[in-house]
A = this chain, B = another copy of it.
Amino acid sequence: MGAQERVQKEKLILDTAIKLFTEKGFHGTKMDEVAKGANISKGLTYFYYKNKEDLYMAVTKKAFDHLKDIFRDIYRSKNKNGMEMLVDLISKYMDFSQEQRMYYEAILNFMGLMNQYNDKELRSQMDPLILESVHFNKLLDIHHDCGKIGIQIVSLGIKDGSIRPELQPEITFYTLWSMLIGYERLNGPINYEMKEIKIHVENWKPGFIKMMQDLLRGTIRPSRSPGVQGSLF
C-alpha cells in the first residue's frame, strides 16, 4: 500500500466521520459506526487517528480550511474596496455558520479549546493527546491566518477611504469577528421565541448588519474623548 493509498483510507474514514457527525453530532456518533461506515475494523480507525477527539480535530481542520478559503477568496477578489470586501465577508461568514452547522460547531468548539490552551490553569485540564495532535496545531495557525486576512481587508478599506480612518485594523476586525461569533450563538433562540419582545426574523439580521456597517462607515464621527471613558475602569 503506497502513501497515496494510505491517504485515501484516511480520507475515507474522515468522510464517514463527517457524514455521521453531521447526522448525529459528536456524542451521537460511535466509533463502531465510523468503522462500519468505512468498511474497516474498529481497531483500524485507531491506526489512522489517535482517538475520537483526534478524528474530530481532523474534521475541525477541514471546517476551518473551508472558512479560510472564504476569507482568502474575498481577499483576492478584484474591483472591490475594503468595505465591500468586509460586507461580503460578513455575509459569507453568516451563510457558512448557518448552512454548515456541524462544521461551524466544530470551529466554535475549537475556539473553546484555544481559550483553555492559552490559560495556564486550564491547560492542565486538557486531554494531552489533543495537544500533540497535528490537526490541533495546524488549527492554531489557520485561526491566526484568518485573523491576518481580516485585518488586511480592514487596512485596505482604510487606505481606500471606504472605512473611517481613525479605526485600528486589528481591533476593528476582531471586534467584527466577535460580533459574528456572538450573533450565531444568539440567533437561533432569538429568531425562535422572541416575538414577545418584538424581534422578528426579518429585523434582527439586517438590523445587526446595519450596526456593523455604522461602526465601519464614514457615517461615524470620532468620539470626542478618544479611548475609554474614565468611568469604566
Which A residues lie at the B interface, using CB under 8 A?
24-25, 28, 84, 87, 91, 101, 105, 108, 111-112, 114-119, 122, 125, 143-144, 147-148, 151, 168, 170-172, 174-175, 177-194, 197-199, 203-204, 206-211, 213-215, 217, 219-224, 226-229, 231-233
Contacts and interface: CB of A to CB of B under 8 A. Distances in A.
13 contacts: A91-B232, A111-B189, A115-B188, A118-B189, A168-B203, A171-B203, A174-B208, A180-B182, A181-B186, A206-B233, A210-B226, A211-B215, A221-B221
B174 A178 contact: no
A contact face: mostly helix, strand, loop, or mixed: helix
A147 to B, nearest CB: 7
A209 to B, nearest CB: 6
Contacts of A183: 175, 178, 182
A105 B114 contact: no
Nearest to A102: B122
Contacts of A208: 171, 174-175, 178
Contacts of A114: 188-189
A207 B168 contact: yes
